[in-house]
Amino acid sequence: KQEVTQIPAALSVPEGENLVLNCSFTDSAIYNLQWFRQDPGKGLTSLLLIQSSQREQTSGRLNASLDKSSGRSTLYIAASQPGDSATYLCAVSRDNYGQNFVFGPGTRLSVLP
Amino acid sequence: GAGVSQTPSNKVTEKGKYVELRCDPISGHTALYWYRQSLGQGPEFLIYFQGTGAADDSGLPNDRFFAVRPEGSVSTLKIQRTERGDSAVYLCASSSTGGGGGQFFGPGTRLTVL
């Protein structure tokens, strides 16, 4: 059974810092991995999608890497801003057909002005 | 529409009542997913539709939960004899294929069972 963990559970940093969020999964036979952002009381916003054949994806100040063999992904946020404050969730596909994500519990990020 | 929509945004009901939650996916998306999210946790998979049929309903917690997608577009999640433990945010997502292109989520329905 696939299990996803995220470290740290919560993180508070001053504005301008670069930071790394970690995601680990127990079964390396994944189809893809997706990072999401969730603001309080809101739905999930997709940030980056990495296919299992890829090693990283970049969008603006965000960079996500994937090491499938070791069961790890990192989300790097450069030059953090107060508007980045949210919960960040990673999710891996349940099987090789790319269906039904298994989510981690999230990292709650606070960027202080 | 431009994104996934869900109605109602909030639903308060009494224990034992029946509720229906609606999801309107992105136009053209053949795959639709329901998840449940409890406070402080990541979403948990409930059921996945490919077209009109439920391809995987292994996440439904018990037979009080049922979902339909009769025309391959809008889906309704139905909960019978609601219990206080059913209180959560119910999220719907859709994708253009089997999920390989990533999933797009709606804002969720917050269900509170008193």
pLDDT tens-digit readout, B43-75: 999 999 989 999 889 899 999 999 999 999 999
User: Which of A21, A39, A44, A47 has the highest number of chain B CBs within 10 A, making it the mutation to test binding with B?
Assistant: A44
pLDDT tens-digit readout, B88-106: 999 999 988 655 667 889 9
Q: Does A4 sit within 8 Å of B59, measured CB to CB? A: no
pLDDT tens-digit readout, A83-104: 999 999 999 986 655 567 899 9
B91, B100, B101 member nearest A43 (Cβ): B91
The reported pLDDT for the residue numbered A101 is 84
Distance CA B104, CA B33 (A): 10
Q: Does A106 sit within 8 Å of B107, measured CB to CB? A: no
For the beta carbon of residue A65, count every other beta carbon within 10 angstroms: 18
The reported pLDDT for the residue numbered B1 is 52
Q: Does B55 sit within 8 Å of A34, measured CB to CB? A: no
B55 vs A contacts (CB less than 8 Å): 99
B43, B45, B98 member nearest A97 (Cβ): B98
Q: Does A43 sit within 8 Å of B42, measured CB to CB? A: no
Q: Does B56 sit within 8 Å of A100, measured CB to CB? A: yes
B5-10: Cβ within 8 A, 24+ apart: B5/B106, B5/B107, B6/B90, B6/B91, B6/B92, B6/B106, B6/B107, B6/B108, B6/B109, B7/B109, B8/B109, B9/B107, B9/B108, B9/B109, B9/B110, B10/B109, B10/B110, B10/B112
pLDDT tens-digit readout, A45-68: 999 999 888 999 999 999 999 999
The reported pLDDT for the residue numbered A113 is 94
Flag whether pLDDT at A25 surpasses 70: yes
